[in-house]
A = this chain, B = another copy of it.
Amino acid sequence: MERTKAVVCGATGMVGQVYVAMLSDHPWFELVGVAASERSAGRRYGDAARWYIPGEIPDVARSMTVLPCTADAVTATGATLVFSALPSDVAGPMEHSLADAGMAVVADTASHRMDADVPLIVPEVNADHLAALSVQRAGGRKGFIVTGPNCSTAALILSLKPLQAAFGIRRVIVVTMQALSGAGYAGVPSMAIVDNLIPFIRNEEEKIARETQKMLGSWSDGSFQPADIPVSASCNRVAVLEGHTESVLVELDRFASPEEVEQVLRDFQGEPQRLHLPTAPEHPVIVRAEPDRPQPRLDRLAGEPARARGMTAVAGRIRRDPAFVTGIKYTVLSHNTIRGAAGNAILTAELLAAKGLL
């Protein structure tokens, strides 16, 4: 079987590098180009990308010439699939122009997440939202845009979806402790975070609320109906390299014991598991029994098989909450640049492929 040709836009940044690493030996997708800003375009990728990931830059990418992120340059590679990790100030129009040129654009950027006809997908959670693509194509466009959530929403939504399905959700209160890589390589100066934490991440709390509502909502009659669930988020940056940890309180619609909640999380399976997608973890959520887990350094790379490392959300400390009769509290964690960005996008592209949408 011939692999689908893919280009990564924004390939020199932190998330871009995770895409390159994950695509360097992908069974369904062939990395045929790396694109980045004008500053990097024309340079050898091995020179333009300061490689942040332990280990060597993949051979397939090292000597590629960095392309500009234009529809022409990307089209010329023969690619039909584009992963976008573009900076937020340019992502919006570039992704549009790539889709207009016929590309399937899978973006982990924020620009189009809330667009009325753009699905915001975590494949285990709301694969059915891909139905919205028919609206995009009805507009005459050959390509389309699919997005994934903000990195802090990813872990949360994987744990909320099975609870919503099993018990109903009345209210969500989440406090995040987010990793440094979520701000990009140079996003958080070391002077700001050694012996410190920062109780603020711009726009993050709003994103968690509305993205969660969109993903837990439905697509019907040609539009998204967000779930009517209040989501209160408070976001903090802590001195952790990778892995967002979140303290979650859910008021359920009906009472459930911690044991029932744990079982529902353990049993959760989605389309990727049913379709045996290459990057699908065996379990979207695992639950650890130790009283002091999950911990980001120990749990962020959970996920089997090897290709799915970092794709599993790890939950723990499931317990009743004293503030609500039907309240449940737990801690959940996922790898922010894998499940929260590149990995989720690749899994989404696999889902598109499996459904014949590529």
A residues with CB within 8 A of B: 14, 52, 54-55, 171-173, 175, 177, 180-181, 185-200, 202, 209, 230-232, 234, 236, 238-241, 245, 247, 249, 291-301, 316-317, 321-324, 327, 329, 331
Q: How far is the CA of A281 from the CA of B338 in the complex (A)?
A: 29
Which chain B residues lie closer than 8 Å to A247 at the CB level? Answer: 175, 199, 234, 236
Q: Are A296 and B196 in contact (CB under 8 A)?
A: yes
Name the CB-closest residue of B to A172. Answer: B323
Which chain B residues lie closer than 8 Å to A295 at the CB level? Answer: 196-199
Q: How far is the CA of A54 from the CA of B314 in the complex (A)?
A: 13
**Contact status of A197 and B245, CB under 8 A, knowing A55-B301, A173-B173:** yes
Contact for A191 among B175, B191, B241, CB less than 8 A: B241
Q: Are A331 and B199 in contact (CB under 8 A)?
A: yes
Name the CB-closest residue of B to A174. Answer: B175
Q: How far is the CA of A238 from the CA of B178 in the complex (A)?
A: 11
Q: Are A234 and B191 in contact (CB under 8 A)?
A: no
Which chain B residues lie closer than 8 Å to A185 at the CB level? Answer: 189, 191-192
Q: Kindly provide the distance from the CB of A253 to the nearest chain B CB, expressed in whole angstroms.
A: 15
How many copies of this chain does the complex contain? 4
Which chain B residues lie closer than 8 Å to A173 at the CB level? Answer: 173, 249, 323
Name the CB-closest residue of B to A235. Answer: B247
Q: How far is the CA of A202 from the CA of B175 in the complex (A)?
A: 20
Q: What would 13 A/B residue contacts be, using CB atoms closer than 8 Å?
A: A14-B191, A187-B189, A195-B239, A196-B295, A197-B296, A199-B247, A199-B316, A232-B329, A234-B247, A234-B317, A238-B238, A239-B239, A239-B240
Which chain B residues lie closer than 8 Å to A198 at the CB level? Answer: 292, 295
Q: How far is the CA of A43 from the CA of B177 in the complex (A)?
A: 34
Q: Are A194 and B197 in contact (CB under 8 A)?
A: no
Which chain B residues lie closer than 8 Å to A186 at the CB level? Answer: 186, 189, 191
Q: Are B241 and A239 in contact (CB under 8 A)?
A: no
Q: A177-B238, A186-B191 provided; 20 other pairs, C-beta below 8 A? A: A52-B191, A52-B298, A54-B300, A54-B301, A171-B323, A173-B323, A175-B247, A180-B191, A185-B189, A185-B192, A187-B189, A190-B193, A197-B240, A198-B292, A198-B295, A199-B293, A199-B331, A230-B323, A236-B247, A238-B238
Q: Kindly provide the distance from the CB of A262 to the nearest chain B CB, expressed in whole angstroms.
A: 16
Name the CB-closest residue of B to A181. Answer: B191
Q: Kindly provide the distance from the CB of A327 to the nearest chain B CB, expressed in whole angstroms.
A: 7
Q: How far is the CA of A52 from the CA of B194 in the complex (A)?
A: 13
Q: Are A175 and B234 in contact (CB under 8 A)?
A: yes
Q: Which of A194, A197, A295 counts the most chain B CB atoms within 10 A?
A: A197
Q: Are B317 and A199 in contact (CB under 8 A)?
A: yes
Which chain B residues lie closer than 8 Å to A171 at the CB level? Answer: 323
Q: How far is the CA of A327 from the CA of B171 in the complex (A)?
A: 13
Which chain B residues lie closer than 8 Å to A321 at the CB level? Answer: 232
Q: How far is the CA of A187 from the CA of B188 in the complex (A)?
A: 10
Q: Are B239 and A322 in contact (CB under 8 A)?
A: no
Q: Which of A198, A234, A245 counts the most chain B CB atoms within 10 A?
A: A234
Q: Are A296 and B200 in contact (CB under 8 A)?
A: no
Q: Are B195 and A323 in contact (CB under 8 A)?
A: no
Contact for A249 among B232, B294, B300, CB less than 8 A: B232
Which chain B residues lie closer than 8 Å to A180 at the CB level? Answer: 190-191, 194
Q: How far is the CA of A19 from the CA of B2 in the complex (A)?
A: 43
Which chain B residues lie closer than 8 Å to A236 at the CB level? Answer: 177, 245, 247
